Amino acid sequence: MTTTSFLDNSALLPSIQQANEKMKSTLGRIETSLSSQGYPLKKETYHFLTKVLEPSNRIERTLYMLLFQAAYQSEMLSAGSAYFAIRFANEFISQLLKIPNLTERNEVELMEVFEQVAGYWNKAVCTHSKNVTEEELKEEIRAISEDKELCEALLQAITVCGLEGKIHIEDSISNTYVVEQKSGYFFSSVKPFKFFIPALGLWEVTNPKVMLVDGVIEQVSELDKILNGALETKIPVLLIAHGFSEEVISTIKVNVDHGKFNIMPVRLTTELDSLNVLNDIATVCGAEIVSTLKGDMVCLVPFDSLPVVEKVKLTPRELNIENAKTRRGVSNQIRMLLEKRQEQQHISDLSDLIDKRIQGLLAASVALRLPNMPPSKRENTKVRIDVALRQAKTLLTNGRVDFSDAFCFGMSEDYSFCDPVANAFYATLLKLEFEEFQGKKIPSLTAWASVYLAGKAVVRLLTTGGLVVITD
């Protein structure tokens, strides 16, 4: 059952203040929490916040939902920033609620003031940001990983594949961490049928044929030559298309289960990221795309005409193709994409899509194999690896900043300090500096993104004319 209620400001603000004080008290009292798998959660992690801040009423649920959204966005930009975002929001709410007649001011006006003061803060952070040294990076990763061997393995993996490469975390039965450089090209814009993937979660074949169809395969008869060829030669086939009918999938599945042939049908996702990915796969495989949209007929494609690649590995989330003989073609494709990106660099969305395509064509990948360990410890290790890798990328890309230096510079540069919202903004930073971050060096992106995203959410929350609260 879902109930909906509306609260006006006379009832909303006192309730928010009460929920905010409870949130502050909870974060002050609890230092550690246990995950559902039984391993301890660090206070700086997003999972810790969602675990300890459990709402007990509608106002708390709504408040936490809004702040968790800002914290999650911040965490995706900079690892470990979720806690900073929540703490800033917590103190910012307290400071804003001290402003008389806050809700009588126009939301657009208050947001303009916030954007201005946040701009000064961004300038302060950028001015005092400094690149991290190799030793400082090691210290950060060592602190997050809490394991010397894991720290060394992570540093080695980063050195091998770089910031834009892929690091795959795999389980193993060895006694130590193993870092292995992998070859091949990776594509995530695929959607295999889960019931085709073996129980271990990996379909791996050597010297398979590849068929690419720019369209939907509707009839089994379209694949007669391919099915018969796979049946006679027992050569595995990777079959990629935009879609398959139920008849086609059921026919392939029955024959695969009976061991007659080994064919893996794979769909392309419908997301924006999958645009032109079929062309990139074709370049890697040295294959011609069968385009039903252009009038090509799948039924006329001979089995022998399909190209053979060295190795294919398919998981529910990713396709890996190894094929060294097409390196020159892949290099030309990357060069073309770089030129295209240069021409359209002013369009950020297109630049991001091209960057993802280039990343898939760069054969830089590392497998980090975990030693044999209990399930709870393994999950905890994977979480620490995720945070450490994202933190390393943030630090190497944006550097870090001394919180106190940035705060002092921001105070000296902001000439609009007479506005109550600006006063509340800097009072919040001052309190955070005094209580937790005095003299501490934090990632520059954390200092900026968490403050901006959390602050924006708070201003919108407190200046609304009322609030609709929905709960199940």
Say if residues 285 and 307 touch (Cβ distance below 8 Å).
yes
Say if residues 265 and 252 touch (Cβ distance below 8 Å).
yes
Say if residues 92 and 73 touch (Cβ distance below 8 Å).
no
Tens of pLDDT, residues 320-356: 898 888 888 888 888 888 888 777 766 656 777 777 7
Q: Which amino acid is at 235?
A: I
Q: What domains are there in the chain, each with its CATH number?
A: 3-130+400-471 (1.10.560.10), 134-183+364-398 (3.30.260.10), 186-323 (3.50.7.10)
Residue 228's closest CA among 258, 261, 265, 196?
A: 261
Q: pLDDT tens, position by position, for the chain (472 residues)?
A: 445 554 555 667 777 888 788 877 877 766 555 445 544 456 566 666 767 777 777 777 878 888 888 888 888 888 878 888 888 888 998 888 888 877 777 778 888 888 888 888 888 888 888 898 888 888 888 888 888 888 888 888 888 777 666 787 888 888 888 887 777 788 888 889 989 998 888 899 999 999 999 889 999 999 999 999 999 999 999 999 999 999 999 999 999 999 999 999 999 887 766 667 888 899 999 999 998 777 888 999 999 999 999 999 998 888 989 888 888 888 888 888 888 877 776 665 677 777 777 777 775 678 788 888 888 788 888 888 888 888 888 888 888 888 777 767 555 554 445 788 888 888 888 888 887 777 788 888 888 888 899 888 888 777 664 454 444 5
Tens of pLDDT, residues 248-305: 999 999 999 999 999 999 998 877 666 678 888 999 999 999 987 778 889 999 999 9
CA distance 451 to 82: 10
Residue 38: predicted pLDDT: 47
Sign, CA torsion 215/221/227/232 = negative
Residue 396 parent element (H or E): helix 375-398
